[in-house]
Structure 1
Amino acid sequence: MKAGVGVDTGVDAVVDGGPEVLIELDAVEKVFDVRRRAGLLRREKRQVRAVDGISFAVARGEFVGYVGPNGAGKSTTVKMLTGILTPSAGRLRVAGIDPARERMRLAHRIGVVFGQRTTLWWDLPLKDSYGLMRRLYRIPRARFAENLERCVERLDLGPLLDVPVRQLSLGQRMRGDIAAALLHDPEVLYLDEPTIGLDVVSKAKVREFLRQLNAERGTTVLLTTHDLQDIEQLCGRVMVIDHGRLVYDGTPGGLHAAGAAGESERMLVLHLERELPAVSVEGARVVKVEGPRQWLAFPAGASAAPLVAQVAARYPLSDLSVREPDIEDVIARMYAGRD
């Protein structure tokens, strides 16, 4: 499938002559009826099109980022893929199953992690939640023990198994939820903001585990996130949804290139040895000065190396960091002026 804005995202382009497809959407729509007050005693109904004619296919073993601004339709898509919501129009299949019609059958083929919600039992120790999962999914004991051991080791859950879920930190609970979603060996894993609110160490641990899972077991992963580092470190393909429509389908590098074309910017944060007036370097502009720290904006598609070299040669530099543009900023600049 060719990367770029306005790409043909028809399912047939991927299915014909390609690898086995696990997720298929063909002209899928989801429309909600919303009532709002229109006077003292009157309410009017209007339709909100959360997903507007989306078509794409995901092959077995792909790790795909599904991103967009808040309200773009990401979570609505995931809920349709899991059978929680029924499409208003179009055709949708996961592992050959219609999620809305055969939700219970599909549950044994997929795993789901919602960053803001937990599937674990709040007052039970983590290990007891896993025991209940084994019974719910009817997982054979040997297979359950093997999967649990792998998750406990790689997600560092050993010290947490006897701790009630309500006492876990957000990062600990997130690791626990990811393990719970994988105990029954799902073919497809949906991750909805799995690193939201996590500290740097927890994020790194989760990312490494997911990378190993995809590489070693071939699990197909669909990841929604606002963190571009999640996309860059994990995904070989990224799809952008905006106002319910798929507006980009390609590589993470292509997304940055498209952002650069839309004048998206990265930020070079300088930590100088002492407070100085705004620095002057070619190819960047100072947008903020706060004591010895200064923020320089430069085009997202440009290399930071020449800027760093200029600063290091002219100013007393003690440390620096490069901040990537938020996904909302990339999308806003890419599609400024779109209807």
Structure 2
Amino acid sequence: MYAIEVEKLRKEFKVYSSRSGLMGAFRDLFTRNYKTVRAVDDISFTVKQGEMVGYIGENGAGKSTTIKMLTGILTPTSGTVVVNGMNPHKEREAFVQTIGVVFGQRSQLWWDIAVQESFRLLKKVYRVSDKEYKEHMEHVIETLDIGPLLDKPVRKLSLGQRMRCELAAALIHNPPLLFLDEPTIGLDVLVKLKIRQFLKEINEKYKTTILLTTHDIADIEALCERVIMLDEGKIIYDGSLQRLKENWGEGKQVQFTFATEVTEEELRALTYDINVTWRKGETNSWVAHVAPMHVSDVISRIVARYNIQDINIDEMSTEEIIRNIYEEGVVHG
């Protein structure tokens, strides 16, 4: 029933801590100070087969460390991990046959040979028959539109082209579980849309379980109904994206575009008695985050004081909700 089962998972690293000053540097030559950093701090969660889950957090929150433990790259300090019914670290050879992994900043393709040669090598590694390869990869190659790229060396591909090929390479053996760590980092909008659509298709067609880490909230909104939020190695939210919006998304975003430059201090002084948060937008624009009951009051004060070129009112975006949770230190299970 579960593709991933994690119980009280912890990962600690011993890191070197240098002393300050010239004397400290001299002492470091003979004795070194070390400190223990807890990257993942006793987290527990499960992922059902066929689920698409967003695993999100700020840089350094522990996302990639978790993925590396789930894929068997790192050994946990403590806790238990069961993925596809196996221990990733003790049943390594059988386990890797059941997962696909894409790291946005690392490549599993050979740099100097043609893409299709990398695919053939991976086909041999995973012991995929010619029939299975043809049936499955024809669909993958067509959907990701990488047919024209197969004869090119990987080093001659653009970032977007390479990432589509990386995704195809991870699916050569049609694994039931796919780990994606920042798969759309640095990609343009059209490539992102193509990758998102493809992930939806394989999830629907093969019931592929997907665990996705990303800083692009649009990826999460397009693909995942459930999110797990991590902060300083701890899970601060695990639940549906819809519930996250309903519980912490109360409020409006009012974007003002001014005719001249306006400072945050001026705006705060004008709305000092209203619970409103100001954020700088594009040129000469500011965004106010405010409760629905105070929207008209904020607008009337700003319009009465400044020359306004444009006003837009929107629901609070998922990105804003998540940013506010991290900035305010709100922790919810």
Superposed CA offset, 1:147-196 (max 9, x none)? 22111111111111111111111111111101100110101000001111
Superposed CA offset, 1:203-239 (max 9, x none)? 1111111111111210000000111111111001100
Alignment counterpart, residue 178 of structure 1, candidates 139, 147, 167: 167
Q: Secondary structure at the match of 2:173?
A: coil
TM-score (norm 2): 0.81
Q: Secondary structure at the match of 1:233?
A: helix
Aligned partner of 2:6 in structure 1 is 25
Cα distance, 1:315–1:125 mapped onto 2, change above 3 Å: same
Counterpart residue identity of residue 286, structure 2: W
TM-score (norm 1): 0.80
Alignment counterpart, residue 287 of structure 2, candidates 267, 282, 296: 296
What is the deviation of 1:330? 3.6
Alpha carbons 2:2, 2:48 under 8 Å: kept? yes
Aligned partner of 1:335 in structure 2 is 329
Alpha carbons 2:180, 2:213 under 8 Å: kept? yes
Aligned partner of 2:36 in structure 1 is 47
What is the deviation of 1:105? 1.2
What is the deviation of 1:328? 6.2
Unaligned runs of 5+ in 1: 1-19
What is the deviation of 1:259? 4.1
Distance 1:82 1:179 in 2: 18
1:240 is aligned to 2:229: yes
Superposed CA offset, 1:28-72 (max 9, x none)? 111111122232223112111111111111110000001111111
Distance 1:100 1:285 in 2: 47
Q: Which has the larger radius of gyration?
A: 2
Unaligned runs of 5+ in 2: none
What is the deviation of 1:333? 3.2
User: Alignment RMSD, CA only?
Assistant: 3.4
Q: Which has the higher helix share?
A: 2
Alignment counterpart, residue 190 of structure 2, candidates 201, 212, 219: 201
Cα distance, 1:257–1:319 mapped onto 2, change above 3 Å: closer
1:107 is aligned to 2:101: no
Alpha carbons 1:266, 1:324 under 8 Å: kept? no
% identical equivalent positions: 43
Counterpart residue identity of residue 231, structure 2: D
Alpha carbons 1:227, 1:327 under 8 Å: kept? no
Aligned partner of 1:34 in structure 2 is 15
Alpha carbons 2:179, 2:212 under 8 Å: kept? yes
* Correspondence list, 1:128-139, <5 A: 128-139=117-128
Superposed CA offset, 1:280-309 (max 9, x none)? 999977754766x5232325x869x999x9
* Correspondence list, 1:34-183, <5 A: 34-38=15-19, 39=24, 40-41=26-27, 42-183=31-172
Alpha carbons 1:227, 1:326 under 8 Å: kept? no
Alpha carbons 1:258, 1:334 under 8 Å: kept? no
Cα distance, 1:306–1:256 mapped onto 2, change above 3 Å: farther
Aligned partner of 1:10 in structure 2 is none
Pairs aligned (count):
308
Cα distance, 1:283–1:46 mapped onto 2, change above 3 Å: closer
